[in-house]
Structures are given as structure tokens and as C-alpha cells.
Amino acid sequence: MTNNDEPLFNAGATVYDSFTFLRSPAELTAEKAELLPGQKVLDIACGSGWATMKVARIVGEKGHVTGIDIADKLLDVARWKAASEGLMNIEYLVGDAQKLSFDDNTYDAILCASSLFLFKDIPRVLSECYRVLKTDSTMVFSTFGKNVFQFVTKLINDWITQHETNVFPDSPISVTDSPEKCREVFVKEGFENVEIFEETCVAHFHDKEECWRQISGSLIVRPRLSCLTPDDHKRLKEQILSELEKLVTFQGVSVSLPLIFCAVNKL
């Protein structure tokens, strides 16, 4: 993720909150940070503010949370949501986590929900977070496990093999899709006392069409689909919808989301 990616993220601003599978991981990330009233918190790649708003409620009126993102239109959505909830202790700023504009030792905690894997230079992001984080403070990030949306990604992989399509890019989550990879990323940047939590939550979709729309529009799957021809995309969609039909109940479609939470300390 760089400033060059800003148009990509802004383009999805109007539909971002319809990606319901992003909300629970974001709010759980805030909960895992074990924040206290009065603390000063930074939420990087905050998107439309789900984690930021959760943090604001925890730290209270005497606390403060800053959310940064490269997409100004996403931040407009976040500001509207915060205002509608009467949350006055939030500030949203356009910013790149690879080059933070804050002083050293500024924040009591830093969060990054379901987005660290999108950055082009993860070590640079972590170095900047380490710099602006106070001593004896914590950073918590969340990511998806390697089997996220497995029933769809397996069909995509099978399609690639069957049709001998051009080489597809790996999913961006592959750099942090296991506890071992997460630990390695942080230890290299000087963080200590790395704690890993694995958890599963469930994403609910109204029907199979909504399930496909959200998954295919996510940055977990979309880069791979973009390599398909329109005809191949259509045929693959039909095949996946046929498989999704098997998951439909009177309540819609429910999909398990394997999550990894990583909490690290600056000592």
C-alpha cells in the first residue's frame, strides 16, 4: 500500500462498509489491545473507522484516537459515522503508515486491522510504528489465516490449473497468514514479547450473490480475478455460485473467518 494505491481504495469508499466481514476483525482488534480510559491510540489504515470507533468508546472522553488512511474518501465516511455516533475524541487524517508524521514516543497503543499485509514495505511500517509508540506500550494487528475463503480460493486455483491460465499473483495475505510468519515479521523489527492469538469468527451474508460480491471485491481475491478474461470471469462466477448454493440456509450464507491477532510490546 502506497500513495499510488489511493485511487484504488477511494474507488471502493462507497461500498466499503458493505463488506461486512471486515467489521468483526476490526472491532476484535481493538478489544485485543486491552486499552484503558485516557489513552492515546493510533489506528493505521483505519478504513471507514470500525476499529477507531471501538477504541474511542473504550478510551473515553479523556482519551484520544487518531485514524490514518491514504484514502480521503474513506475517511469522509469514517468522519460521518463518528459524528453520527457523537464521538468527539476521534481525529481522522490522510497519511501513509510508511512515513508517519508524528513525533517519537507519542502513542500508548497502535492498531492495524486486516491491512498490514497490503503495505508494500511492511518493515518500514513496523519501524515507524516502533518509533512513535511509547516505551512499555503495545501494537496489535490482525490478519486472516491462510484458509480464509478457502472454498472460493480453491475453485480459483483449480480453474487456473485446469485452464492453464497465466500465472496469478499470490494473495497479499500470504505474507502474514500464519502465526510463524507474523512472529518473524515483528521480531525482525525489534518488537518483543510477541503474543499470537488465533480465533475464528463467522461472516453472514444475505444470499450467495452478496457473498460472491463481497469476496470477489475484496483485496484477498480481487487481484487474482483481475487476471481473468471477461468470459472466464463469468464462467468462474457461475461455478462458484453453484458451489455457494450448497451453503445457503434460510438465514443466508455463513462463512468461517480464520483470524490471527498479534500483540507486541516496545520495551
The pTM of the full predicted model, rounded to 2 decimals, is 0.86
**Domain boundaries along the sequence of the chain:** 3-266
**In a 3-state reduction of DSSP, which class is residue 131?**
helix
Nearest to 144 by CA among 168, 171, 184, 169: 171
Per-residue pLDDT of the chain (267 residues; tens, 9 = 90+): 444 555 555 555 556 777 888 888 999 999 999 999 999 999 999 999 999 999 999 999 999 999 999 989 999 999 999 999 999 999 999 999 999 999 999 999 999 999 998 888 999 999 999 999 999 999 999 999 887 877 676 777 676 666 655 555 566 778 888 999 999 888 888 787 899 999 998 888 899 999 888 888 877 777 777 777 888 888 888 888 988 888 888 888 888 889 999 999 888
DSSP string for 210-243: HHHHHHHHSTTTHHHHTTS-HHHHHHHHHHHHHH
Pairing of strands 90-94, 192-205: unpaired
Are 56 and 82 in contact by the 8 Å Cβ rule? The answer is yes
Nearest to 239 by CA among 150, 158, 161: 158
3-266 maps to which CATH number?
3.40.50.150
- The distance from CA 106 to its chain's CA centroid, rounded to whole angstroms, is 23
**In a 3-state reduction of DSSP, which class is residue 161?**
helix
